[in-house]
Structure 1
Amino acid sequence: MIIAIDGPAASGKGTLARRLAAHFGLRHLDTGLTYRAVAAALLARGLPLGDEAVAIATARNLDLTRLDRDVLSAHEIGEAASRIAVLPGLRRELVALQKRFAEQPPGAVLDGRDIGTVVCPDATVKLFCTASPEVRARRRTAELQSKGGEAAYDKVLDDLRRRDARDAGRDVAPLKPADDAHLLDTSEMDIETAFKAAVDIVDGVRAD
């Protein structure tokens, strides 16, 4: 069983994906971390973010078992990841890596921005998780502050809107719901409510 969860930043898809993976006994991959890991490596080495050949070479050395969420969640890494995600050759390299992960038994939950449309178009269940930009900015600001970082709501909101526009407007694998995705708007939901709604969707699809 493969569950594909797409959506913009801070929509709750990552937490939801981890909960669903645990609930159904599946492996989990936050595909955004693969882009963040490449971006972090480029930043650490002082390499240009626009050099596709270097980005691809970096991606080929990724170890999916060593993606450190706490380190890679830094705001500047997220911004850099959004910039390199428009490189078509890099996307092809990482999509191939993500596909191989998804196809290993017993299945997996993958979350990102193009899982249902590109990475796993034949996924058992597809969810598109969303929330208003203002709600997502409040969540991301609280998350950053809880980790001891400095975060201003207005700046986070502006950054999210720029990332949304960049992700939705790119030529390769733009952020959009798959035609057969189930929409889950978490703007007015806490994680427990969103999780229950997602489980109900998955169970409903499996029962058909």
Structure 2
Amino acid sequence: MSNKITIAIDGFSSTGKSTIARELAKELGYIYVDTGAMYRAVTLYVMRHLFVTESNFDEEAILRHLPFINLRFVFDEKLGYGEIYLNKENVEKEIRLMEVSNNVSKVATVSKVREMLVKQQQEMGKDKGVVMDGRDIGTVVFPDADLKLFMTASTQTRAERRFKELRERGEKVEFDEVLKNVKDRDYMDSTREDSPLIKAEDAIEIDNSNMSLQEQFDKILKLARQKINAAQRG
């Protein structure tokens, strides 16, 4: 019997989900899937086609184009994890731009977009041995995940982290703009009708407002090892 498990990490934006999930997968030798990157890549595609702008949101056009959106993760040995490709183009850097962040929650409210991506995510994790992070992994994608975590932190802390990250990448953003983006995304993610961001009943909540990355990693790795050992015994 395989002792590999499914690990679902959900939570608010800028809680460091992806960083922790990526490092955890590397440590365990598991597949890492950044579902947020998938939604961002779809958002980038529809932005390039001007289906989503500040004054326009053309859901019909988005739905028409879904068959033309091909997403896949390509493993990079130097990085130790896969980067997202949109129609054979590496868009990992472009999807992290503030402009994409401002639109991704809107695109994620489209039920057909979620339906398409959830199917792909379930296929990626069907054989277990996967660490997947996002907004609805423990509630919708893998409701039977062996380990479910829910990451949170104060709004101010998350905005400060995001601001620092964007500035280090060379983006000219103001802190107030980043803070507004974090608050807006929280609202849209939590109130959308289809698969809203909620903590699964059996998820372990981790508030990392005052935790270092190492402290978070050590705590989560310990939880994962406990579940893996239990699976091995069972």
TM-score of the aligned structures, taking structure 1 as reference length: 0.93
Q: What are the ranges of 5 or more consecutive residues in structure 2 without an aligned counterpart?
A: 75-83, 85-90
| Number of aligned residue pairs | 207
Q: Is the 8 A contact 2:38 2:71 kept in 1?
A: no
What are the equivalent positions in structure 2 for 1:173-188 lying under 5 Å apart? Answer: 173-188=195-210
Q: SS of the residue aligned with 1:29?
A: strand
Displacement of 1:159: 1.2
Query: Distance between the aligned counterparts of 1:176 and 1:39, measured in 2?
Result: 22
Runs (4 or more) in structure 1 with deviation over 4 Å come to none
Asked if structure 1 preserves the Cα contact closer than 8 Å seen for 2:42 and 2:69, the reply is no
Pair 1:45 & 2:49 matched = yes
Q: How far apart are 1:52 and its partner, in Å?
A: 4.5
The structure with the largest alpha-carbon Rg is 2
Aligned equivalents of 1:29, 1:52: Cα separation in 2:
28
Task: Say which of 182, 192, 196 aligns to 2:214.
Answer: 192
Identity value in percent: 35
CA deviations 1:18-58 (Å, max 9, x no partner) are 01100111111110111111110111122244325634633
Give the aligned residue type for 1:62. Answer: N
Q: Pairwise mapping of residues 5-16 of structure 1 onto structure 2 (< 5 A)?
A: 5-16=9-20
| Shift, 1:63, TM fit | 2.4
Amino acid at match of 1:92: E
Spell out, residue by residue over 1:106-163, the C-alpha distance to the aligned partner (whole angstroms, 9 max, x if none). Answer: 5211100000000011111111011100000000000000000112212211111111
Summarize the alignment of residues 16-95 of structure 1 with structure 2, pairs less than 5 Å apart: 16-48=20-52, 49-52=57-60, 54-55=62-63, 57-58=65-66, 61-65=69-73, 67=84, 68-95=91-118
Partner of 1:122: 144
Which residues in structure 2 correspond to 1:90-109 (within 5 Å)?
90-103=113-126, 105=127, 107-109=129-131
What secondary structure sits across from 2:112 in the alignment?
helix
**Unaligned 5+ residue runs, structure 1?**
none
After the TM superposition, which of the residue ranges 146-155 and 8-17 deviates more from structure 2?
Answer: 146-155
Identify the structure with the greater strand proportion: 2
Contact 2:153–2:207, Cα closer than 8 Å, also in 1: yes
CA contact (8 A) 1:27 1:108 kept: yes
